[in-house]
Structure formats: C-alpha cells, structure tokens
Amino acid sequence: MTIRKKDHLGQLIEEFVGGDPKRQAMLDEETVNFESAQLVYQLRTKAGLTQRQLAKKVGTTASVICRMEQADYDGSLAMLRRITAALNQRLELRAVPIRKASHGMAPAGRKKLAKV
C-alpha cells in the first residue's frame, strides 16, 4: 500500500490548526462560508442572472448577494433558503459524524449545503 504525501495546502492547514479546537472551529466556519459563497454563485450563474436580478427576486440588495458570493457575509440560513427558493431550489442540510479529516482540513462530515 502506498502512503500518499500531504499536499502543501494540507500541510499549511495542519500547521495552522495544530490541534487547537478554536482554530479548527474557525477553519470549519470559514469552510462553510466559502461553500455557501460558491453555492450562491453557482446557482445564480446557472440561472443566468446578475447579482442585481437575483437580489430583486430574493427581496434584498445586490450588495448582499455580492458579499455572500465573496464569503464576506455572516449570512443566515434563512437568507440561503430565500436565495434557493427564489431559484426554484430546495436547500438541504445534513449532519454526519465528525471524524479526523485528511490533510488536517475541516471534518469530512462538515455541512453540505445543496447540490447545484
């Protein structure tokens, strides 16, 4: 059996977290924020909408959509639900047991938001 070397990013993450629960929690939170940002962007572009058009459908401002897509918004689950509903999608969340992730990254069972 061949042992895979850790990639550079995995090594950096492992060094950053270093077994510190607070740093792991921060990494987990930023991972969810990033995944949320990707989800909003992918759904919007797949629908062929501008940020302004999506904002109008959702009943918010384009700056909120922009900040969400940049992972610069401490968005709520309610806002994600509003966005997915405006795009005729349903947001799904699931919980899975936490287990040590490869490369020191967030747990493999982190929240999965929705499929595009």
Residue 102 or residue 90, greater confidence: 90
Mean pLDDT of 48-60: 97
Q: How far is CA 5 from CA 10, 76, 87, 104, 105, in A?
A: 10, 37, 41, 13, 15
Residue 74, amino acid: D
Residue 109, amino acid: G
Residue 83 or residue 103, greater confidence: 83
Please report the pLDDT score of residue 2 as a whole number: 52
Distance CA 37, CA 30 (A): 10
The domains located in the chain, with CATH, are: 22-104 (1.10.260.40)
Q: Is pTM, for the whole model, over 0.85? A: no
Mean pLDDT of 29-48: 92
Give me the chain's average pLDDT, please: 82
Residue 74 or residue 7, greater confidence: 7
- Kindly tell me if the per-residue pLDDT of 77 is higher than 50: yes
Mean pLDDT of 51-57: 98
Residue 113 confidence class, pLDDT cut points 50, 70, 90: low
